[in-house]
A and B are shown apart, each in its own frame.
Chain A
Amino acid sequence: GAVVSQHPSRVICKSGTSVKIECRSLDFQATTMFWYRQFPKQSLMLMATSNEGSKATYEQGVEKDKFLINHASLTLSTLTVTSAHPEDSSFYICSARDRQGSREAEAFFGQGTRLTVV
């Protein structure tokens, strides 16, 4: 299956600092990547959809200035949590989509990043 790698797996940062999370598709070109957030004991909620070379589309209620998404290449998307606060502490996970043939790469996710803001 499609391999998606996410880094880092765990990060602790101080309140007010920014954190960058990377999502890479290792064996395919991802025209679209998705970012999800999961609070403890809750479901995964789609935050935004990023398309290579264009601006990300954010879901309602997600602050685009706080969660900066860059999808500069077909294999890499980054999520930057700017001026992080304790309420941003969450599990962030990405998935990537491959439009080649019948592969539905959005079925495969990165390992996730557990962000703790102290």
Chain B
Amino acid sequence: AQKVTQAQTEISVVEKEDVTLDCVYETRDTTYYLFWYKQPPSGELVFLIRRNSFDEQNEISGRYSWNFQKSTSSFNFTITASQVVDSAVYFCALHKRGGADGLTFGKGTHLIIQP
């Protein structure tokens, strides 16, 4: 069975602060994908990143960065110099590579950026 844990239910920071959203996963699969999505109040899911389990390189995209640590089964997401527009619910998800099942989502972290 697969499981994704986002222990932080809600995080509130002041604009321009850096913030890290934690994601810990459990899987018996040796190959899998990890995802992060942003869900603004409008509801749609905005794809942020997909990471293959074979690729442990950290990734940076503008103010966003991701730290994949296979040894600790974690895939954390950091926003640098946060902005009010970053306020949303962020979901971490897991998928078995080549599998027929859909994604297993964490419970999400509600990020509030205060001006």
A-to-B contact residues, CB < 8 Å: 1, 32, 34, 36, 42-46, 49, 91, 93, 95, 104, 106-109, 111-112, 114
Contact = CB atoms under 8 A, between A and B. Distances in A.
Nearest to A111: B44
Given A1-B47, A46-B104, A95-B103, 8 more contacts: A32-B100, A34-B103, A43-B106, A46-B102, A106-B95, A109-B45, A112-B43, A114-B43
Interface string B31-71: 00101010000011101001000000000000000000000
A12 B91 CA distance: 27
Interface of B: 33, 35, 37, 43-45, 47, 50, 91, 95, 100-108
A46 B43 contact: no
Q: Is the interface of A mostly helix, strand, loop or mixed?
A: strand
Contacts, number: 49
Q: Which interface residue of B35, B100, B102, B104 has the most chain A CB atoms within 10 A? A: B102
A106 B102 contact: yes
B105 A44 contact: yes
Contacts of B103: 34, 44, 46, 95, 106
A32 B44 CA distance: 20
A42 B107 CA distance: 6
